[in-house]
């Protein structure tokens, strides 16, 4: 596998860092979660729970190992630095400056292992006026320009169902780590990678930013080209209160669509405004004349950029049927398993590790005796 032999120390919690290391694990890296003794990763206990821990935790942390260390204690810090000597990558998501306060800043880590790669994920990056400001995904996408584009035609905004800043930051973290590993092969020197979740989300708003900056225009939620303005690129309700996503941009598909629905008079209406235009109202009535399943059947053999809007509990079946079981599957314990698209290994275990499950295994590998391992369990704040 691509990252076989690479060891990652994961100091992160919740979503961005664990998703970053999940991808690295799927690429073959050994990922060791280094957790505190007070419960570890906060997401462990967020409902719904499966076998004691959160289903979110299992999904994000399958295939990883867990050890517990109180990094405020000198002995635990000493052990962590010994781990650093044998590791390749550290992923952390503390607020900027926390690692340095713990005596584990980049210079200290580099002194222990000059080839270590440290990826820091934070809301606003390691520098700037917002460096110490608290925030979460909704705040980050608000400042990135993305949230303003989630509007509908009643001038209200909607919270996206996916954590865009968290996950884009995680993926940029993976990209930065892979690039640093390639560079290290040439230079034998590590690197500090600074990933801002807000900047990561902002980079995804490339089309809206280009429009508002280059064209000197204001983004108009619900009325922009790919945000509800076009009749041919819109969401339509079906008779059973489900939805179909019509995503036609190219004229050839619109021509075929009009032919398929037997409405040739709409051939020149693709770019018509969805703000009460006759074409929009006619297509709205058309989609509302059938159930979602009827439309699925109608478009099954037609390559016309029209797909059903699925609920999360329907995605697993769709993926297994249409995507070679690569994206999601449910095992016998009803745990949802996300197999990332770059995964090159078979998923044998759907569950995340118990807190400190691999203390003895990992520390024994480093030469520590059982007494020391037991002692570490009592090094609480």
- Under CATH, domain 225-237+243-308 is a member of which superfamily? formyl-coa transferase, domain 3 (3.30.1540.10)
Regions in the chain scoring below 70 on pLDDT: 1, 153-155, 211-223, 275-276, 320, 323-335, 376-381
- Could you give the residue range(s) of every CATH 3.40.50.10540 domain in the chain? 7-204+330-376
Catalytic annotation present for 265: no
* Nearest C-alpha neighbor of 355 from the set 44, 25, 60: 44
Q: Which residues pair with 244 in a beta bridge?
A: 236, 308
pLDDT at 122 (0 to 100): 97
| Number of neighbouring beta carbons within 10 Å of residue 176 | 19
For 333-358, the pLDDT digits (tens) are 566 777 788 887 777 777 899 999 99
Residue 70, beta-bridge partner list:
none
Whether omega before 48 lies within 30 degrees of 0, making that bond cis, reads yes
Q: Which candidate in 10, 166, 220, 224 is catalytic?
A: 166
Q: How far apart are CA 214 and CA 208, in angstroms?
A: 10
Q: Which CATH class is domain 7-204+330-376?
A: alpha beta
* pTM of this structure: 0.90
For residue 262, indicate whether it is catalytic. Answer: no
Residues of the chain with CATH 3.30.1540.10: 225-237+243-308
pLDDT at position 379 is: 57
pLDDT recorded at residue 272: 79
User: For 214, phi and psi rounded to 5 degrees?
Assistant: -70, -40
Dig out the tokens for 25 from the structure. Answer: 């694990």
Name the nearest CA neighbour of 217 among 208, 204, 229, 206: 208
């Amino acid at each position: 596998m691509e990252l076989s032999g690479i060891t990652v120390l994961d100091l992160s919690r919740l979503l961005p860092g664990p998703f970053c290391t999940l991808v690295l694990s799927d690429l073959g890296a050994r990922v060791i979660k280094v957790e505190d003794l007070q419960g570890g990763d906060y997401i462990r206990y967020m409902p719904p729970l499966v076998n004691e821990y959160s289903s979110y935790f299992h999904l994000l942390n399958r295939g990883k190992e867990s050890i517990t260390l109180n990094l405020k204690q000198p002995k635990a810090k000493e052990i962590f630095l010994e781990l650093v000597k044998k590791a390749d990558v550290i992923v952390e998501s503390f607020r900027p400056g926390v690692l340095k306060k713990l005596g584990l800043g980049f210079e200290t880590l580099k002194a222990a292992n000059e080839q270590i790669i440290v990826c820091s994920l934070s809301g606003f990056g390691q520098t700037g006026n917002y460096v110490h400001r608290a925030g979460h995904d909704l705040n980050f996408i608000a400042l990135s320009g993305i949230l303003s584009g989630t509007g509908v035609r009643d001038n209200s905004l909607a919270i996206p169902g996916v954590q865009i800043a968290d996950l884009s930051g995680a993926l940029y973290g993976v990209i930065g780590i892979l690039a640093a590993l390639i560079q290290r092969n040439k230079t034998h020197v590590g690197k500090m990678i600074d990933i801002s979740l807000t900047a990561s989300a902002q980079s995804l708003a490339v089309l809206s930013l280009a429009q508002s900056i280059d064209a000197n225009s204001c983004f108009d939620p619900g009325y922009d080209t790919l945000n509800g303005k076009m009749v041919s690129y819109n969401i339509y309700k079906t008779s059973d209160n489900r939805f179909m996503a019509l995503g036609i941009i190219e004229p050839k598909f619109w021509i075929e669509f009009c032919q398929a629905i037997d409405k040739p008079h709409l051939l020149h209406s693709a770019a018509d405004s969805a703000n009460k235009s006759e074409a929009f109202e006619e297509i709205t009535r058309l989609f509302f004349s059938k159930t979602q399943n009827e439309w699925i059947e109608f478009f099954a053999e037609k390559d016309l950029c029209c797909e059903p809007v699925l609920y999360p509990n329907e995605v697993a079946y769709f993926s297994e049927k249409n995507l070679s079981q690569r994206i999601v599957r449910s095992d016998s314990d009803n745990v949802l398993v996300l197999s990332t698209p770059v995964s090159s290994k078979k998923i044998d275990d759907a569950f995340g590790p118990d807190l400190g499950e691999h203390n003895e295994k990992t520390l024994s590998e480093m030469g520590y005796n059982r007494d020391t391992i037991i002692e570490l369990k009592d090094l609480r704040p």
